[in-house]
Amino acid sequence: MESKHWLLILPILLPLFTAAISVVFWGKRRLQRLLSVAGALAHFVAAIFLWLATLDGTVLVTPLSNWAPPYGIVLVADQLGATMTLLGAMMGLAVVIYSLRAIDARREAFGYHPLLHVLLMGVCGAFLTGDLFNLYVWFEVMLLASFVLLALGGERPQLEGAIKYVALNLIASTLFLSATGLLYGLVGTLNFADLAVKLRDVPQPEIVTALSMLFLVAFGLKAGVFPLFFWLPASYHTPPSAIAALFAGLLTKVGVYVLIRTFSLVFVSDPHFTNTVLLWIGVLTMLFGVLGAVAQNDMRRILSFHIVSQIGYMIFGLALFTPLALAGAIFYVVHHIIVKTNLFLVAGVVRYLQGTSALAETGGLFRKKPVLAALFAVPALSLAGIPPLSGFFAKLAIVRAGLESEAWIATGIAVFVGLLTMFSMTKIWNEVFWKATPEDANAYAKYAVEKPMPRAMTLPILALALCTVSIGFGVGPLWNYSQRAATQILDPTIYVRAVLGDESAAKLADSIEREKLAKREAAR
């Protein structure tokens, strides 16, 4: 097998391998922990190599079992897919190291480490696949692992949260599956590239648009967009923070990634309609997410609502569908994965120190743990969009794209939501770090502050905070990279040429040209 094929397969195979070996050593806690860290490290290295291989704009394609596309399943890595895989592996590594201290022995004994790697496999599979049904399978791998991780430990809130999470996600899966079946009935293929070519020749494009709305509901629920996000704030604050951090960073972003992929490549039958729908979904997601956060009084619940609100910005960027907006959306995803994971990790340390994350019972951490306060400030200010941190440039790009597209109301709301985000972050800062430890706090909260922070927990937080700062100060290279990735996304012929060859790409280019001509005629 050629070495370039290994690049694509390893990010999926390595976590599977790690999980399988850890299962063999069930009950041997130290060995499992060692394997888990080694596996996550190897995964990260494999993802870096994949990312480097796509850096010059090549789109890597691997037909599995050597079945030539469109008949077999293909793995495809363009710049967006490779970047997401890299971030997935990076968050995986950070959370695995953090878990060494943050996850109790009981959860570890019940297979925490193997499950975490299965989750990473599902996530990376979803980022790299080039086939719709295969995407469904990766979604289910990811979901099953996340179901168990969410319920692991069996505390009452966890189980209640898990029921809501499971029920709503399974409805989304059913819709996804049904829509996939109908799409296959319509065009007889499920390969992304092949779909991109064939869906343009469907005699009734209205059916494709209707199907795309089914997919929008299915993917939108996973991404946590308005009005489908209610499972997210009901469940994400219940598991231990290490698990919540991984979910917060990666799972909803898989939904966003798939929306970007499908609505730029496959479902382009009526871009005006779909983009308008996406635009308002994005705006309402931002607004209702942030309003939900304002009403909360628990650090982890506030952060959960902010996941929803930030997803709105990415959908907004996708909906505008200009080169600037799409580059902004990609930049936003990169920034958000790092920042959000980090905030949940900080929330975990707060909980470790004070035994709670309810704002009323915490306090005094700024005096006792100034380093932690600083480590919270970096991702929090970045989330709110304060220069020179990464979030400022992400928001700047999206807002500027909104103004250029003359979406005045939507852009206005985006700016307003940024303000409310700042308000939420200030609230956490005031209550958790700035104010004195409340008099009526439980004895544990008062005295536990004195205990040292475990290095395994602070190290990943520090590393991710450094990432945020360095993205902020070295914004140029990453911005250029996002623009190149967006160019790849905006021109579907690049993807199709890589997967199916020149002939299909030429055919696709032809039909795009014809559509443009027809539109110009209609405009006259």
State the residues that interact with another protein by CB under 8 A. Answer: 133, 136-137, 140, 143-144, 147-148, 151, 154, 156-157, 159-164, 166-167, 170-171, 173-174, 177-178, 180-182, 184-186, 188, 233-235, 237-238
Q: Toward another protein, which CB reaches closer, 57 or 181?
A: 181
Nearest distance from residue 146's CB to another protein, in Å?
Answer: 11
> Three-class SS string for 187-247?
HCCCEHHHHHHHHHHCCCHHHHHHHHHHHHHHHHHHHCCCCCCCHHHHHCCCCCHHHHHHH
Q: With H, G, I as helix, E, B as strand and everything else as coil, classify residue 153.
A: coil
Nearest distance from residue 181's CB to another protein, in Å?
Answer: 3
How many Å separate Cα 485 from the centre of its chain? 17
Report the distance separating Cα 268 and Cα 149, nearest Å. 36
Backbone dihedral angles phi then psi of residue 191, each to the nearest 5 degrees = -75, 130
Q: How many residues does the chain have?
A: 524
Q: Toward another protein, which CB reaches closer, 240 or 364?
A: 240
Asked whether the beta carbons of 141 and 128 are under 8 A apart, the reply is no
Nearest distance from residue 199's CB to another protein, in Å?
Answer: 16
DSSP string, 54-79: HTTS--EEEEGGGPPTTTS-EEEE-H
Q: Toward another protein, which CB reaches closer, 171 or 396?
A: 171
Q: Toward another protein, which CB reaches closer, 67 or 273?
A: 67
Return the residue matching tokens 């996973």. 222
Q: Toward another protein, which CB reaches closer, 13 or 187?
A: 187
Q: Which two tokens stand for residue 37?
A: 């860290």
Nearest distance from residue 233's CB to another protein, in Å?
Answer: 8
Nearest distance from residue 237's CB to another protein, in Å?
Answer: 8
Q: Toward another protein, which CB reaches closer, 164 or 484?
A: 164
> Three-class SS string for 463-508?
HHHHHHHHHHHCHHHHHHHHHHHHHHHHCHHHHHHHHHCHHHHHHH
Q: Which two tokens stand for residue 340?
A: 């959000």
Q: Toward another protein, which CB reaches closer, 174 or 430?
A: 174
Nearest distance from residue 185's CB to another protein, in Å?
Answer: 3
Q: With H, G, I as helix, E, B as strand and everything else as coil, classify residue 30.
A: helix
Nearest distance from residue 308's CB to another protein, in Å?
Answer: 14
Q: Toward another protein, which CB reaches closer, 137 or 217?
A: 137
> Three-class SS string for 368-380?
HCHHHHHHHHHHH
Backbone dihedral angles phi then psi of residue 450, each to the nearest 5 degrees = -70, -20
Nearest distance from residue 516's CB to another protein, in Å?
Answer: 32
Nearest distance from residue 55's CB to another protein, in Å?
Answer: 35
Q: Toward another protein, which CB reaches closer, 215 or 316?
A: 215
